[in-house]
Amino acid sequence: MPPSASPPRIFDRDLLRRRLDRAAPGYAGADFLKRRAAGDIVMRLEAIMRDFPRAVDLGARNGAFAEALAASDAAPRVGLLVEADLSGAMLAGRAGMRAVADEERLPFAPASLDLIVSSLSLHWANDVVGALVQARLALKPDGLFIGALFGGATLTELRQALTAAELELTGGAGPRVSPFADPSDAAGLLQRAGFALPVADVDRVTVRYDHPLKLMADLRRMGETSVLAERHPRPLTRKVLARAFEIYQRDFAGPDGRIAATFEILTLTGWSPSEIQQKPLRPGSAKMRLAEALGGEEHSVPGTRPQRR
């Protein structure tokens, strides 16, 4: 079910689809971050001792999650897995259930799924909270969502180098790299979407390249180049790009001359609300003082008095 109000159009989703289609043939050559995020999700599933008869992988791309799951102890607990992606080319040629689907307009019936995972695709949603709401509605009560998306520190070096080069050569700078979610608000995204027991973790990965051009080639093969709807009115010139590369190598190269590229992966875990889930105790409902539970003595702070509950 799509959200009732239209979100701001930050990203051009049609352009994203076209770039993913073009990236599909060579995607496996640059899927190391996808595999890392998918493997992390699978490890989390291994620690949850329950069955998930119907599952969906949103933004499946080349099937990294399905591959990691098949090799894990969690595989017998996941029944039907539907791989969904915005790009039909990404799904082509693979066995199993597949669906071309937009994360912003999920086609799944309410309360029809036990598990939804998503590794590195939701950062392209114009309304992340709205996409999470749709995922929650598609889950059965006490269904599980685990999603990984890029956080705000992602590509910070490239962003700084491009901005500095444009300011130096043109006197002004605009957005050239897509914005990403703030890690401090990661768990809040799940809360705003109505998930219970929200948890957010941050994994910061530094990848080293011989030259910024190799980083940009990887981004193209991942289908992760900017698809901002409001694109900069001036295209990047060779002069600006060359200066950006010089700044990048000057400011972010290590002793070996290789440049650093930061990728911040936020992993969100939440449950569809259910009456069977544990609830936090109401403040003031404890039956025993902390000092009694710990076998110690209770001392008052000057100017205060011990609180009994």
Q: What is the mean pLDDT of residues 174-184?
A: 76
Q: Give pTM, 2 decimals.
A: 0.86
Handedness of CA 47, 52, 58, 64 (dihedral sign): positive
Residue 294 lies in a domain: no
Q: For every residue of 244-298, which 3-state class applies, written as one string?
A: HHHHHHHHHECCCCCEEEEEEEEEEEEECCCCCCCCCCCCCCCCCCHHHHHCCCC
Residue 46 C-alpha from the chain's centroid:
20
- pLDDT for 147-178, tens place per residue? 999 999 999 999 999 999 999 988 766 666 77
Number of domains in the chain: 1
The reply to whether 171 falls in a domain is yes
The CATH number linked to 222 is: 3.40.50.150
Can you give the length of the chain in residues? 309
Task: Assess if residue 103 is contained within a domain.
Answer: yes
Instruction: Taking residues 89-107, report their average pLDDT.
Output: 95
> Could you give the CA distance from residue 105 to residue 64 in angstroms, rounded to a whole number?
23
Does some domain include residue 100?
A: yes
Task: Output the CA torsion 84→28→224→119 (10° steps).
Answer: 40
pLDDT tier, 3 (very low <50, low <70, confident <90, very high otherwise): very low
Cα first-last separation, the chain: 46
CA dihedral (210, 214, 216, 218) positive or negative:
negative
Kindly state whether residue 303 falls inside one of the protein's structural domains.
no
Pairing between strand 259-271 and 196-209? antiparallel
d(CA 41, CA 236): 37
Whose tokens are 């059965």? That residue is 140
Q: 3-class SS at 22? A: helix
Structural domain span for residue 20:
13-277
Q: How many CB atoms lie within 10 A of CB 232?
A: 14
Residue 291 inside a domain? The answer is: no
pLDDT tens digits for range 131-141 = 999 999 999 99
284 assigned to some structural domain: no
pLDDT per residue as tens digits for the range 194-249: 999 999 999 999 999 999 999 999 999 999 998 988 766 677 789 999 999 999 99
Flag whether 5 is in a domain.
Answer: no
